[in-house]
Amino acid sequence: MLKQDLRIVFMGTPDYAKGSLEALVDNAFNIVGVFCQPDKPKGRGMKLMAPPVKEYALSKNIPVYQPVKLRNNEEVKEILNTLNPDLIVVVAYGKILPKYVLDYPRFGCINVHGSLLPNYRGAAPIQWSVINGDKITGVTTMFMDEGMDTGNMITKAEVEIDALDTYGTLHDKLMILGAETLVKDLERLVANDGKLESIVQPEECTMAPMLDKDNTKLDFTKNVDTLVNLVRGTNPFPSAWCLIDEEKTYKIYLAERVELEEDYSAAKCGEVVYLNDKKNILAVKCNDGYINLKGIKPAGSKLMGCGDYIRGGKIQTGELFI
């Protein structure tokens, strides 16, 4: 089989998916159409903005389709009949593929997932690997089935998680690794006339649920390292947060363990125990020490170093995060 004979439909939406689409185009794979989420309003003016995958596909004159839904959608069936894909590649599309889509291409649907399956099945695998303090993660390519990331695995590729990695930096590493792994898999698929070996996933797994207001709030009764990892794993999105009262809410983008010369062990967990604008320290008592809320975004304000916020006189020692 030649690359140009393999008709591929690509399904993906954000930057993470764009990395894989770019790699396929750069390696001369035949992308006959792209599906992505509909344009969404963004910014203060709420102007409709195209997803990164759409912008890139249009720049390469690849047809783009943005159905609101896939299930029970006759228009999508007609599009697939017109495009007649041999293979569907899915990377961070954001929609569940119904059975008729999964069954359509003769070589199946291949997904690039941002974890080492069966660990972290679900919507936020990259974030949770950082939040949980893992040292190694990676990507898994797999044939899709009707389950949530339960399909047969094709390839696993690992990467180390550095101590300073955030969701943002690890996202970029895995975007590159996922694209490289996908290209290698499809090169083998072409060389083997549509065949790729795969293995069944173990039943035992861990999940990576979506992040929300409940699981991103900083709980200062926990250990410092746990909170630092939560900040890292939610930077830049959706960000960890905390509040002193309903009118003093903060998003936290950078945090670290800090050692203090004085003993504040009698303070309550969540209490602001030390402020130093010159050293950029806003120290809060935790279960096993003190956390420095170094990069802070007060509600209605911009992201700043905590030293700048301290100089504004809007926070005092003795205040308590609730």
pLDDT digits (tens, 9 = 90+) for 198-249: 999 999 999 999 999 999 999 999 999 999 999 999 999 999 999 998 889 9
- Mean pLDDT of all residues in the chain? 96
Q: Are residues 276 and 180 in the same domain?
A: no
Look at residue 44 and tell me whether its pLDDT is greater than 80: no
Residue 41 has pLDDT above 90, yes or no: no
- How many CB atoms lie under 10 A from the CB of residue 176? 14
322 inside domain:
no
pLDDT of residue 42: 81
Q: How high is the pLDDT of residue 231?
A: 98
| Cα of 20 vs its chain's centroid, Å | 15
The CATH number of whichever domain residue 231 belongs to comes to 3.10.25.10
- CATH code for the domain in which residue 104 is found: 3.40.50.170
Domain end among 174, 191, 208: 191
Per-residue pLDDT band for 51 (boundaries 50, 70, 90) equals very high
* pLDDT, position 43: 72
pLDDT at 281 (0 to 100): 98
User: What is the phi/psi pair of residue 102, to 5°?
Assistant: -60, -35
* 179 and 238 part of one domain: no
Last residue in a domain, options 139, 169, 191: 191
Q: What is the pLDDT of residue 205?
A: 97
Q: What average pLDDT does this structure show over 258-269?
A: 96
**Same domain, residue pair 133 and 259:** no
DSSP E strands: which ranges in 208-288?
A: 240-243, 249-257, 272-276, 281-286
- Is 319 part of a structural domain of the chain? no
Measured CA to CA, the distance from residue 260 to residue 200 in angstroms comes to 51
Taking residue 273's Cβ as centre, other Cβ atoms within 10 Å add up to 19
- Decide: 251 and 268 in contact? Cβ < 8 Å: no
Name the percent of the chain lying above pLDDT 90.
96
Q: Using a CB cutoff of 8 Å and minimum separation of 24, what contacts does 276-280 make?
A: 276/307, 276/310, 277/306, 277/307, 277/308, 277/310, 277/311, 278/307, 279/307, 280/305, 280/306, 280/307
* pLDDT of 97 higher than 90: yes
Are 107 and 29 members of one domain?
Answer: yes
pLDDT at 65: 98
Between the alpha carbon of residue 96 and those of residues 35, 70, 73, 93, 149, the distances in Å are: 13, 8, 13, 8, 10
**pTM (global) more than 0.85:** yes
Domain count of the fold of the chain = 2
Spatial distance between the Cα atoms of 127 and 271, rounded to a whole number of angstroms: 27
For 61-83, what is the mean pLDDT?
Answer: 97
pLDDT at 287: 96
Range of the domain at 87: 3-191
pLDDT at 14 over 80: yes
